[in-house]
Structure 1
């Protein structure tokens, strides 16, 4: 971006207007010119402990298997550890399930509740529907 502003300056543009046109502050441009090294915070490299793309389908396969489809990822990791198998910790299981849109209630133990609708009284004529009035 600094090269674009430099080119605009060579062609006679005002520095302030050139920075505004690109959407950066004048101080940002000057900082780039003084020190061209990117000093923004945050990691620019990939996480070395993150699951590889080849491992994600295996996690989904395990989570949707008949043995584990009704339990939480923390319990899946515990069950796999008891069998001597390690795929990933619980947190990557949650991340993979969330990215696949499968992070919701995973059991069949909660039945859908039916909504109670109180009975309605409909008057079809005068003095057809009476209500109780408490007089003290």
Structure 2
């Protein structure tokens, strides 16, 4: 079974990229490039989903793009308040969709997964902004 979650790619500096999947606790990565971040987020998402299934919890429902963007913006705002100076205002923000293939049987997640950039122009990132 394929499971997809909306993630938000934040660019905080020239080599500071983060992707957060706000619906899945702990599914976030920091990398020096978007390609590296996208490669890392699938395995991070897999580990988080395995933790859900290994502990008998249901996999959380996935938000649509708009709700995920609001959640990520709220998380960023909270981090900026809790840790002043640790998170600057991002120079860019984009929506990405991260997809994992969940294995049957032991209900563990397995990624050779892929990602598909989403947005109205198919394949281009859609900017969002924290308020």
TM-score normalised according to structure 2 size = 0.24
CA radius of gyration, larger in:
1
Flag the structure with higher strand content: 2
Structure showing greater relative contact order (alpha-carbon pairs closer than 8 Å, 6 or more residues apart) = 2
Flag the structure with higher helix content: 1
